[in-house]
Structure 1
Amino acid sequence: MDRETKLSGFAFIVLLAGIGLATLFIVLFAELADEMLDQELAVFDAVTIRLIEAIGSGWMDTAMFIITELGSVWFLVMLSIGVLWILGVKMRDKWGVLFYLVAVGGGSLLTVLLKHFFSRERPSINETIDAVGYSFPSGHSMGSLIFYGFLIYLVIRTGQKPWVRWATVIGLSVLIVLIGVSRIYLGAHFPSDVIAGYIAGTIWLVLSLVALEWIQWQQRSPVPPVAALRKVLAPVYRALIDKL
C-alpha cells in the first residue's frame, strides 16, 4: 500500500471520528436540555452559583467584567475582521474564509434559534454586560468556543512552532472557560446554560471543521476518499476472514 493511500485512508478515519464526536455531543446536549426543561438542574445550578459567588470581591468584579467582554459580540466581530483579512488576503484561503463565516456566523444564528426554542429566562437582566433575551444556551460560551476554537485550529493547521501551538491551545482554552465562568459570576447565566453553550459550540465547530477538511482533502489528494478507505481496510477485512 502506497504512502498516499495510507495518509488518505487515515484522513478519512479522522473525519469519521469527527462526525462521531459531533454525534456524541448532540446526544449530550439533548440530555442536558431535557433535564433543564424538567427542572432537574436546579440544585446543580444553585450550588455552582454559590461556589462561584464565594470568590466575589471588588477586583474580581472588574476582572470578570473584562473577561466577559472578550466573548461579546462586538469584540468577536472586531477580531473576525482581522481573521478574515489573514485568511483572505495573506493566506488566500477561500475555503477557510467560507467556513470561518459558516462556523462563526452560522453559530450565531444557531444560538438565536436555540434560545428562542427553549425560551429559558435569565437569572438576572443586565444590559451593561449584554445579559438580555433568553438564557439557554449561553451565547457568550457558545460563540467564544466557536471563535477561539477556530483560532486554535488555524494555528495548529498552519504548522506553527510547537511552543506556539501549545501556548495557543492552553491560553485560548483557559480563556474559553473563564468567559463561561464570568457569565455565571455576573449573574447573566445559569451554569447549565454555559455547559449547554460549550456543547452546542463544539457540535457546530466540529461539523464546520470536518466539512472544511473534507473539501481541502478532496482538492489536494489524488486518491479518491472511498478508494483510499477501501485499500486501508481491505487487509484488516482479509485478516478477519482468514481467522474465521
Structure 2
Amino acid sequence: MQQESQKAGIAFLLLLSGLGLAGLFIVLFAEVAEEVMEEEFGLFDVLIIRLFESMAGESMDAVMKFITELGAVWFLGGLSALILGILWWKLKDKWGILFFVIAVGGGSLLTLLLKHFYTRDRPSINPEIDAIGYSFPSGHSMGSLIFYGFVIYLVIRTRQKPWIEGLTVGVLSALIFLIGMSRIYLGAHFPSDVLAGYIAGTIWLILSLIALEWIQWQSRSLVPPVHALRNILASLYRTVQKRR
C-alpha cells in the first residue's frame, strides 16, 4: 500500500505540473492575442508571408493544397470515426472515447468561439481552400494539433514498439507543422493566426488529457487522490526534518 501511495502521489504531482503548463500556455495565448489585436505582429506576419511567397510555384501550390486538406474538417471527421471505432471495438476504452470526443469536438467549438470573439479578417477569402469566416486563431492549426496530438497520446498510451512510437511522433508532429505552414502559404491565415492556433490547441489538448488521466487514475487506483497527495507531502516533510 505504501508503494501504491507513492506512485499515486507522483502521478498527482505530474497532473498538477500539467495544469501549470496549461496555465503558462494560457498566459502566452493571451499575450499573442493582445499583440495581434494591437497590430504589433505586423512585421512578423509580413516577413513570414514574403518568405512563403518566394517559394510559390505550381508544384508547391499542389503540394500545399494537398497538405491543407489533411487538416480539413471533412478529413479529420473521417479519421475521427476510424479512431472511435478502434477505441470501441479493439481497445474497449469508454473513457478514451468520451475524452476524444471532448478534445476534438470541444476544440472545434472553442475555435469558433475564439474566432467570433477576436473577429480578425483573413488575408484573403478563398472558399476552395476553406478560407472563409474569421482568421484568428487558425482552425486548421488548432484542430490538427488536437487531433493528431491525441493520436500520438493513444499510440504512446497503448505501449507500442519504440520504433512505432518514434515514427508516429515524428510523422504526425511534422504533419501538424506542415498543415500550419500550408495555411500561410495559401493565404488563408496570417502566421500569427497559426501560432495562436498551435498555442490554443496545446492548451485544450493538455486539459483534455489531464482530465482523461485523472478519471482513469481514480478508476484504477487504490489510493484516493487527496490521500496520495497528503502522503507524499508528509513523506517529503519527514525527509526534510531528518536532514535538519
Q: TM-score range by the shorter chain?
A: over 0.9
- What letter matches 1:119 in structure 2? T
After superposition, the CA RMSD in angstroms is 1.2
Deviation at 1:236, TM superposition (A): 1.7
Q: How far apart, in 2, do the equivalents of 1:128 and 1:241 lie?
A: 67
Paired amino acid for 1:11: A
Q: What is the CA–CA distance in structure 1 between the aligned matches of 2:223 and 2:235, rounded to whole Å?
A: 18
Indicate whether 1:78 and 2:78 are aligned: yes
Cα deviation digits, residues 169-192 of structure 1 (max 9, x gap): 111000000000000000000000
Give runs of aligned pairs for residues 2-151 of structure 1, distance below 5 A: 2-151=2-151
Using the TM superposition, give the Cα deviation of residue 242 of structure 1 relative to its aligned residue in structure 2, in angstroms: 5.2
Give the deviation of 1:238 after TM superposition. 2.6
CA-CA distance at 1:240 after TM superposition: 3.2
Ranges of 4+ aligned residues in structure 1 off by more than 2 Å? 238-244
For 1:195, the equivalent position in structure 2 comes to 195
Q: Which whole-Å CA distance do the structure 2 matches of 1:173 and 1:53 have between them?
A: 24
Query: Are 2:231 and 1:231 aligned?
Result: yes
Task: Provide the C-alpha distance between the structure 1 equivalents of 2:160 and 2:185, rounded to a whole number of angstroms.
Answer: 35
**Distance in 2 between the 1:6 and 1:162 partners?**
27
Percent identity (aligned): 66
Question: Alpha-carbon deviation of 1:29?
Answer: 0.3
CA offset at residue 153 of structure 1?
0.3
The alpha carbon displacement at 1:233 in A equals 2.1
Name the SS for the 2:131 alignment partner.
Answer: coil
Query: Offset at 1:14?
Result: 1.0
Give the length in aligned residue pairs.
244
- Please name the residue that 1:208 is paired with: 208
CA distance in 2, matches of 1:63, 1:153: 28
**How far 1:225 moved relative to its partner?**
1.2
What amino acid is aligned across from residue 204 of structure 2 in structure 1? W
Residue type of the alignment partner of 1:223:
V
Per mean C-alpha deviation after superposition, the further-off stretch among 182-191 and 49-58 is: 49-58
Letter aligned with residue 36 of structure 1: V
**Within 2, Cα distance between the matches of 1:4 and 1:200?**
35
Secondary structure class of the residue paired with 2:120? coil
Inter-CA distance 122–206: structure 2 relative to 1 (3 Å threshold): same
* Unpaired stretches in structure 1, ≥5 consecutive residues: none
Inter-partner Cα distance in structure 2 for 1:58 and 1:3: 61
Aligned match of 1:176: 176
Q: Give the residue type in structure 2 aligned to 1:161.
A: K
Per the alignment, in what secondary structure is the counterpart of residue 135 of structure 1? coil
SS in 2 for 1:136: coil
